[in-house]
Amino acid sequence: MTVNNLIYVQAQTTWQSGVQSISQIRDFAPVVMDEPVVLGGKDSGANPMEYLVAALNGCKAVMIPLIAKELNFKFSALRFDSQGTIDLRGLMGVEGVSPHFQQLSFTVYIETEESEQRLIALQQAVATRCPVYNLLKDAGVKLNTQWVRQAQAIAV
C-alpha cells in the first residue's frame, strides 16, 4: 500500500516447530523458512539469510531495469549470483562476533552493448538507490560487487 509517498510492506509469520516458520505475504503462496539439519532444522525451506540474499538479487532485478529505462540504457539479459558468509559464533552468542553477514559477494551478469561509461553510471545509480543493498551496506556488511559484461546473443 502506498500513502503520502510511503510504501508499507508487511508479512505475517507463524512458528511451526523446531526452527521452522511459515510466512504469508499478501495473497502469494506461503513461504516456508527453516534451517539445515546441521543447525537444528528439517531443511524444509530456505533459511532467513538465504531469503535475504535472494531479496538482494530480486531488488537489483527491480532497480536495474527501472533505472535503465530512466537512462535509456539498453540491455538484453540480466543474471545475478550472490553469496555471503556468516560466522556461526555470532549466532551462538559469542561476544564481538556479528550474527549477520561478515561479507557478501554480489555479481551482476549483464548483456549490453552500451559504453563502459554508461555502464558505470548505471552501476552507481543502482548502488545508490537499491533498498536491500543499502540496508546491508548501512549494517556494515562488507559488500564485494562485480558487474560482468556479457556478449549479446546474435539472433539467427
Q: Which three cell numbers stand for residue 19?
A: 526452527
Sign of torsion, CA 54 135 66 75?
negative
> What pLDDT does 5 receive?
87
Q: What is the pLDDT of residues 32-50, one digit of tens each?
A: 999 999 989 999 999 999 9
User: Would you identify the CATH topology of the domain 48-150?
Assistant: GMP Synthetase; Chain A, domain 3 (3.30.300)
Q: What is the pLDDT of residues 49-90, one digit of tens each?
A: 999 999 999 999 999 999 999 999 999 999 999 999 999 899
Burial of 126 (C-beta count, 10 Å sphere; 0-12/13-18/19+): buried
pLDDT of 146 > 70? The answer is yes
> What pLDDT does 21 receive?
96
> What pLDDT does 79 receive?
96
